[in-house]
Amino acid sequence: MSLPTSDDVERAAATIRGVVRATPLLDGSALGAGILIKAELLQHAGSFKARGVTNRLAALTPDERGRGVIGVSAGNHAMALAWGSAREGLDCLLVMFRGASPYKLARTREFGATVEVVDGDPRAAFDRMGEIVAESGRVVIHPFDDPLVVAGQGTVGLEIVEAVSGLDTIVVPTGGGGLVSGIAAAVASTGVEIVAVEPELSAALGEALAAGGPVPVTPVTRAGGLDAPYAGTLAYALCKEHRVRAVTVTDDAIEAAMRRVYADLKLACEPAAAAGIAAVLADPGAYGRTAVVVSGGNVAAKTASAILASP
């Protein structure tokens, strides 16, 4: 499988134009000098995932469309795939694990998808998806390890560098690695450094880069959406090729960053989306002129209020 390139991201941008939103790049100086915020929480279905889904669904053949699609997700990919499938008139099944956010599970069903909830962890959900595919012939729309999905996610980076010059760094919350690797491919010729930010106990990409390839991990984090059981093969290869740097932050730091985003930027992001902000706040000035991707806003009111009410 060839690695997505900036040309693939450009093609994805043309494919998804007019379907997904070109989200704003906001002034984030309330958090520190030189900070810009890429507000993907304002995207359709509440996260950047709509980009990769739209690009992948556009490539389905008539036969594949008739077989229906399937995905596995803790929530944001599920919601985006349900949204995209409804738009395309496709039968859609999502496999989610019991620890996933009830809010995201309910919203996925509201978009019209069928949801199967699996006991166990994310790895169990991936295993169950494989069983269903073997039985049904449904087409897998992978949350992060598909070249068209990765290219679609990379349009976030393309929009950033088209909107502003003179950036030093793009900082990206990272789970399975589809978003950060797509952005790395998109901006490869610009000299902008890409930093992947993961929870310290859910560092699939960092573990892969250290091990020389994807390895299974047991994610432990309160930042649902950054709990991938492994980094994608494509994500690992792209991040290695483009020298993406992986850093970790604590769950407490992520939640503190979410409170700062709410208070100072007036953006209601989900915990996972604040991971990049947490990294920047932990080391002020270390990233230079920085665009931070705030990747989604799908969080239950009860969860958000509990975090926001914490000291």
Residues with catalytic function: 49, 295
Say which DSSP state 42 is in. Answer: G
In DSSP terms, which residues pair with 249 in a beta bridge? 199
Cα Rg of the chain (Å, integer): 18
Identify the three-state secondary structure at position 92.
strand
Distance CA 55, CA 11 (A): 9
Q: In sequence order, what E strands does 105-161 have?
A: 114-118, 139-140
DSSP label at residue 230:
S
Beta bridge partners of 170: 194, 291
User: In a 10 Å sphere around its CB, with 0-12 CB exposed, 13-18 middle and 19+ buried, how is residue 135 labelled?
Assistant: exposed
Inter-CA distances, 52 with 25, 49, 93, 99, 159, Å: 19, 6, 17, 24, 14
Residue type, 44: H
